[in-house]
Amino acid sequence: MKIEQLHSLFLECKGISTDTRKVSNGNMFFALKGDNFNGNTFAQKALDIGAKYVVIDEVEFKTSDKTILVDNVLETLQALASHHRMYLNIPIIALTGSNGKTTTKELINTVLLKKYKTTATIGNLNNHIGVPLTLLSMTSSTQIGIVEMGANHVKEIEFLCNIAKPDYGYITNFGKAHLEGFGSAQGVINGKSELYTYLTKSNKHIFLNADDTIQKEKLNTYIKKFGFSQTDSNYYKIEFTEANPFVSFKIEDTLINSQLIGKYNFTNLCAASIIGKYFNIDLKDIKNALENYTPSNNRSQIIEKGSNKIILDAYNANPTSMKAALENFSDLKDEKKIAFLGDMFELGDSAKQEHQAISNLSTNLNIDVVYLIGDNFFQIENNATKVNQYASFNILKENFNSIDIKNATLLIKGSRGMALERILDLL
């Protein structure tokens, strides 16, 4: 079946599903395969519970004209998404980066919703499956699409760009994330910069942080760019005010007091601001949007529990984001500060070195007590009396009653696999 024909059938449906547990009546079900499952085996079940059509790639599961046989279900999903994107012909903003992608995407969406009907990536569905699903969730009423792109190896962003064909792009930063897949910090820069490469070759628009020397140098001669800076008058001026703990900043003498903690969120807020300005959102509406945005999903949340104030930043971690969170925590004026830090994953051969560096940094900062949790942190050298090491969360849990946590400010941060939000249940 040609992709144009499949798209016509898709337009008859009420969205896409890839999981029979989430099939809604009228869906088009794509029978994807994984390491431990074969979606083809669920094709008939999807039809039985309300799917209008199912897309399969194994002939033995074709049971009716509602079952569409293709060569490869995943590749068909990606091709359909790209075709749908061109069919809608709406502006697409793509963003990637090592840290802050999802928060920045949410901020951009919050601002643009003041004037436009948007469709944005849900959560962090930002990979070779998530990006197509985001594109296919857009409808004729969508005025601007916002697509988050994640990557853990080179050529991945290039691949996603060829599916989404963005008109605009923004890179949050280049940090030490997914070193195992990218190979090095330079590999991260090369991989994330594939968004710039796509946009410049296509003569599209780029948003940038002009205070990031890597971004500024890469785009030095490119014309179609709109950036922000605290110092360079060639770009839109935004002034950082403070982050104690919430970030506040000024645009055109207008003070914006956000509900995001940490100076590291300043550039995320700036990006949303200038993209709002570019798309002609009134400054008062930008201010209103950013001041009313509250983080969720374990991202820089502030929680009060008993006598303690908790900064819950347990969604994910890498050396760059961990360093930024610790330095911000150190700068807080709270009297008693305790940090719970979990292992950082996907660092490959750099794991021991990077965990050691974080331990050394925490020792030298204005933090009273530090708890390092996980196998990587347990294996590093540590002689500081204020630093405690636990090989796993369960061992921390067994010893938790012996820890004095009262009238304190806590930072909880670690990779997603560590699930350090479980500490909340121990308090």
One domain for residues 146 and 265: yes
Question: 284 in a domain, yes or no?
Answer: yes
Per-residue model confidence (pLDDT) at position 201: 95
d(CA 258, CA 265): 10
Q: How far, CA to CA in Å, does 203 sit from each of 26, 147, 166, 197?
A: 39, 19, 11, 10
- Asked if 403 contacts 378 with a C-beta cutoff of 8 angstroms, the reply is no
d(CA 347, CA 362): 19
Is the predicted pLDDT of residue 98 greater than 90, yes or no? no
User: For residue 279, which of 119, 91, 142, 87 has the smallest C-alpha distance?
Assistant: 91
One domain for residues 217 and 359: no
Instruction: Tally the domains of the chain.
Output: 3
One domain for residues 128 and 241: yes
Per-residue model confidence (pLDDT) at position 296: 75
Residues whose CB falls within 8 Å of the CB of residue 287, separated by 6 or more in sequence, listed in order:
254, 256
One domain for residues 150 and 268: yes
One domain for residues 100 and 245: yes
One domain for residues 153 and 15: no
Torsional class of 156: left (φ above 0), alpha (ψ -120 to 50), beta (otherwise): alpha
Per-residue model confidence (pLDDT) at position 299: 75
Lowest mean pLDDT among 1-10, 185-194, 198-207, 386-395: 185-194
Is the predicted pLDDT of residue 260 greater than 80, yes or no? yes
Single residue among 291, 309, 338 that ends a domain in this structure:
291
Question: 83 in a domain, yes or no?
Answer: no
Angle at which helices 266-278 and 101-112 pack, to 10 degrees?
30
One domain for residues 187 and 259: yes
Question: 78 in a domain, yes or no?
Answer: no
User: How much is the average pLDDT of 37-47?
Assistant: 93
Single residue among 291, 325, 345 that ends a domain in this structure:
291
Domain CATH for 413: 3.90.190.20
Question: 296 in a domain, yes or no?
Answer: no
Question: 394 in a domain, yes or no?
Answer: yes
One domain for residues 109 and 184: yes
Sign of CA dihedral 154, 159, 162, 164: negative
One domain for residues 279 and 229: yes
Per-residue model confidence (pLDDT) at position 220: 87
Is the predicted pLDDT of residue 99 greater than 90, yes or no? no
Per-residue model confidence (pLDDT) at position 320: 87
DSSP-assigned letters across all residues of 109-173: HHHHTTTS-EEE--TT--STTHHHHHHHT--TT-SEEEEE---SSTTHHHHHHHHH--SEEEE--
The four Cα atoms 393, 175, 102, 300 give a dihedral, to 10 degrees, of 50
One domain for residues 236 and 358: no
One domain for residues 328 and 378: yes
Per-residue model confidence (pLDDT) at position 103: 92
Q: What is the pLDDT confidence band of residue 375, given thresholds at 50, 70 and 90?
A: very high
Average pLDDT, the chain: 93
Number of C-beta neighbours around residue 26 at 10 A: 14
Instruction: Write out the E strands in 194-326.
Output: 205-209, 225-229, 236-237, 239-243, 246-251, 254-261, 301-305, 308-313
Per-residue model confidence (pLDDT) at position 1: 84
Q: What is the pLDDT confidence band of residue 86, given thresholds at 50, 70 and 90?
A: very high
Per-residue model confidence (pLDDT) at position 250: 96
Of all residues in the chain, what percent carry a pLDDT higher than 90?
A: 74
Per-residue model confidence (pLDDT) at position 207: 97
pTM: 0.87
Single residue among 269, 291, 313 that ends a domain in this structure:
291
Domain that holds residue 351: 301-426
Question: 418 in a domain, yes or no?
Answer: yes
Domain CATH for 282: 3.40.1190.10
Question: 84 in a domain, yes or no?
Answer: no
- Where helices occur in 379-416 by DSSP H, the ranges are 393-399
Question: 226 in a domain, yes or no?
Answer: yes
One domain for residues 172 and 118: yes
Q: How far, CA to CA in Å, does 221 sit from each of 217, 229, 321, 388, 393?
A: 8, 17, 30, 50, 50
Q: What b/e readout covers 364-390, taking b as 16+ CB neighbours within 10 angstroms? A: eeebebbbbbbebbbebebeeeebbbb
Q: How far, CA to CA in Å, does 171 sit from each of 79, 135, 174, 206?
A: 25, 20, 8, 9
Q: What is the pLDDT confidence band of residue 243, given thresholds at 50, 70 and 90?
A: confident
